[in-house]
Amino acid sequence: MATDAPPPSKEQHKLPSPEEFTEVQESAEFGELRRSYRSFAFPLTVAFIAWYLLYVLLSNYAGGFMGTKLFGNINVALVFGVAQFVTTFLIAWWYSKHAAANLDPKAEAIKSRMEGGA
């Protein structure tokens, strides 16, 4: 079975000291990485939880609305339920694109510097 991943490196990386970890954690670059993650993840998490709770509340308290047939045997509740799955996959896809473009390069730069590669 072939993979696209290169074999593990044989070279030894220097292990950072606790002081180096603290220094990096307090750096502006790490703060920017953390801000970039939080500005994406937190609003999307709140939005998704609100969307999910709307679905649950409507299912419990608006049975007439959720039972409204849209076409054939398809009703509002089924469409909302399927939309929950679609939303989950879209958020996961969007996050992976965001991480690859904005988070991973910054994290890799910090990691390589801490390991003595830069």
Q: What pLDDT sits at residue 21?
A: 82
Q: What pLDDT sits at residue 10?
A: 66
Q: What pLDDT sits at residue 69?
A: 94
Residues 6+ apart with CB under 8 A from 98: 40
- Block means of pLDDT (10 residues each) for the chain, length 118 residues? 66 74 88 93 95 95 93 93 96 95 91 76
Q: What pLDDT sits at residue 18?
A: 82
Q: What pLDDT sits at residue 111?
A: 87
Produce one character per residue of 66-81: b if its CB has 16 or more CB atoms within 10 Å, e if not.
beeeeeeeebbbeebe
Cα angle for residues 98, 115, 31 (degrees, 5° grid): 45
